[in-house]
Amino acid sequence: MPPRPIKPDWCRCKKRPCLCAELSLWDAGFSYVAGVDEVGRGPLAGPVVAAAVVLPQGVPSRRLAGVRDSKALTPLARARAVVRIRRHALAIGIGAASAVEIDRLGITVTVRLAMQRALARAGRRCEINHVLVDGHPIRELGHPQTSIIRGDHHCLSIAAASVIAKEVRDHLMRRLALRHPAFGWERNAGYGTRTHQQALGEYGPTAHHRRSFGAQRELPW
């Protein structure tokens, strides 16, 4: 069985997120530790996107100043954080699972699939030997792992992954909005806002809609 998730009580740092989890793993001999996180579980449209970020051993946390849980950052602050992450990370991998896969496999399975794809891509740059996961353990990732409750708030590698995943997904939804302007995806990122749901009722779903989500399940598409 995978290990149970740990609570970050052991970390006494006042600054969040920090590198305490990474430092303990580096000291234990795990040279390439990847933080993994995903975005896009809840929208009515678009893919779920995951990112894996491997930080170099001993990187000073000040070089990643401004990197936080992506939900806590403004778009401008998030864009600046992405620049810092890309400048200092050893490896970054992006993985996604489409709306079609979500409908066929379910959101839980596709989140794991997106994470597996992100890790595989990051693994082309270095041999990942431990994974830090937000929340609960995910056995299917295929790596030794440590799961941390509210990991995107407490762990710098996971926070970096959340920032990258959010920025990539939002960029993708803005591009899709150019093809489907009625749904307002450049503003709502595919979530079920009033504008989005009104357009869905008027025009019907696109190929990027999750037909198994929300009220869409009840409609005769």
CATH number, position 120: 3.30.420.10
CB 149 within 8 A of CB 61: no
Residue 50 lies in a domain: yes
What is the pTM (predicted TM-score) of this model? 0.92
Structurally, how many domains does the chain consist of?
A: 1
pLDDT of residue 9 exceeding 80, the answer is: no
For residues 192 and 197, give the distance between their C-alpha atoms in angstroms, rounded to a whole number. Answer: 6
Mean pLDDT computed over 45-49: 97
Residue 196 lies in a domain: no
Residue 129 lies in a domain: yes
Q: Which of the four pLDDT bands, split at 50, 70 and 90, describes residue 205?
A: very high
Mean pLDDT computed over 77-84: 95
So what's the pLDDT on residue 163? 97
For residues 100 and 81, give the distance between their C-alpha atoms in angstroms, rounded to a whole number. Answer: 31
For residues 135 and 191, give the distance between their C-alpha atoms in angstroms, rounded to a whole number. Answer: 22
Q: Which of the four pLDDT bands, split at 50, 70 and 90, describes residue 144?
A: very high
Per the prediction, the chain carries an average pLDDT of 90
Mean pLDDT computed over 74-102: 96
Cβ neighbours of residue 123 under 8 Å, at least 6 residues apart?
91, 93
Residue 102 lies in a domain: yes
User: Which range marks the domain in which residue 25 is found?
Assistant: 8-171
Q: Which of the four pLDDT bands, split at 50, 70 and 90, describes residue 67?
A: very high
Residue 185 lies in a domain: no
Q: Which two tokens stand for residue 52?
A: 């894996």
DSSP 171: H
DSSP 9: G
pLDDT tens digits for 20-31?
A: 999 999 999 999
Exposure of 197 by Cβ count < 10 A (0-12 exposed, 13-18 middle, 19+ buried)?
middle
End-to-end CA, the chain: 41
DSSP 73: S
Q: Which of the four pLDDT bands, split at 50, 70 and 90, describes residue 1?
A: very low
Residue 200 lies in a domain: no
27-36, 53-62, 89-98: segment of lowest average pLDDT: 53-62
Handedness of CA 158, 160, 161, 166 (dihedral sign): positive
Q: Which of the four pLDDT bands, split at 50, 70 and 90, describes residue 8?
A: low
So what's the pLDDT on residue 59? 87
